[in-house]
Amino acid sequence: MGDIRTGPPQLRPGRALAHTTGASGSGSPHRSDSRPPQTPRGGRRTDLIGRPGTTPPVPGRPAFLILLLGIPALLFALITWQVVEDGPLLRVDERISRALIHPDRVSAGLADLGNVEVALPVLVVALLWSARQARRAGTDRWWLPSTAAAALMALVPALVVPLKELTDRPGTVVSPGTGYYPSGHTATAAVAYGAATLLVLPWLRSARTRRALVIGYGLLVLGVSFGLVRRGWHWPLDVVGSWCLCTVLLQLLAMAFRRYGRKPAQDEST
């Protein structure tokens, strides 16, 4: 029946104690031979933002960013579909436009803030100032954020003009002709002022100043949009469609800045 021993159990040669500190297979996460631990956490690869991942991956920041991009993209697709198919949403759009149209000097002045002649110089100043700040700070690839912002601004007409030709939407009673969707003035203002804001924002040390800049940017784009609709140069949906398109573009630019650009400055005052 085998070798039956009456004494206490003996250790077998080559086996480590189950709870010896530092031994292989022990409860300690450390190894005596300096090899990496074999615990699940020690062997995990990090996810896109450096946190230990799991299998399957847990929801986190990437999913949130996809949501931020997906919602405006879906809204833009829905509005574009309604414009192309002359859907029921256009009836509502026309009623709102008739109620809002009232040309005056204030609306014309607000709409003019979306002109290339006004918005582009603001962006150029932000491009040069941001690049100078990054270079003085010794930032690697100091030129990259400004270059990306300039490329995004150049992309705007490349996207908007074909969409205008594709949709061929007629103008309001004040603006005869076709090709009004999406609004080019709104897109110019949103991207030019938005890219300028993203370039300047990390170099502002005061949280109050940063909040004021972001709020000012939002009010500026809203003012341009209101002026365009009030003046009768665009339908409301032309403006909203541009908002959705530019939100996607600016989110992509902000993601590029977070990945490759300078980290935001630390708060000095609130």
pLDDT digits (tens, 9 = 90+) for 88-121: 999 999 999 999 999 999 999 999 999 999 999 9
The Cα–Cα gap between 52 and 40 comes to: 10
**From the CB of residue 181, how many other CB atoms can be counted at a distance below 10 Å?**
27
pLDDT digits (tens, 9 = 90+) for 114-172: 999 999 999 999 999 999 999 998 888 899 999 999 999 999 999 999 999 999 999 99
> Using CB atoms within 10 A of its CB, is residue 9 exposed (0-12), middle (13-18) or buried (19+)?
exposed
61 burial class (0-12, 13-18, 19+ CB within 10 angstroms)? Answer: exposed
Predicted TM-score (pTM) of the model is: 0.74
CA 214/CA 209 separation, integer angstroms: 9
Is 195 a residue whose pLDDT tops 90? Answer: yes
**Does residue 61 register a pLDDT over 50?**
yes
Say if residue 187 is exposed, middle or buried (CB neighbours under 10 Å; 0-12, 13-18, 19+): buried
pLDDT (average), residues 187-197: 97
Coil, strand, or helix at residue 52? strand
User: What pLDDT does residue 10 have?
Assistant: 54
Phi, psi of 206 (to 5 degrees): -90, 125
Structure tokens at 92: 């509502």
What's the rounded mean pLDDT across residues 221-240?
97
Mapped onto helix, strand or coil, the DSSP state of residue 176 is coil
| CA–CA distances in Å: residue 46 to residues 40, 42, 58, 67, 88 | 12, 10, 12, 22, 48
Residue 14 gets the label, from left (phi > 0), alpha (psi -120 to 50) or beta, of left
H or E element, residue 159: helix 144-167
Q: pLDDT of 1-51, one tens digit each?
A: 444 445 555 555 544 444 444 444 444 444 445 555 554 544 444 444 444
CB of 145 closer than 8 Å to CB of 215: no
Is the per-residue pLDDT at 258 higher than 70? yes
**Are 183 and 196 contacting, i.e. CB atoms less than 8 angstroms apart?**
no
Note the pLDDT of residue 2: 46
- In this prediction, residues 175-188 reach a mean pLDDT of 94
pLDDT at position 141 is 86
Count Cα atoms within 13 angstroms, Cβ side, for 116: 6
- In angstroms, rounded to a whole number, what is the distance separating the alpha carbons of residues 15 and 34? 18
pLDDT above 50 for 189: yes
Give 53 or 71, the one with higher predicted confidence. 71
Band of residue 226 on the pLDDT scale cut at 50, 70, 90: very high
Cβ atoms of residues 229 and 236 within 8 Å: yes
Encoded tokens for 210: 């940063």
DSSP 109: H
Spell 93-121 as b/e; 16+ CB within 10 A means b.
beeebeeebeeeeebeebbbbbebeebee
- Per-residue model confidence (pLDDT) at position 19: 46
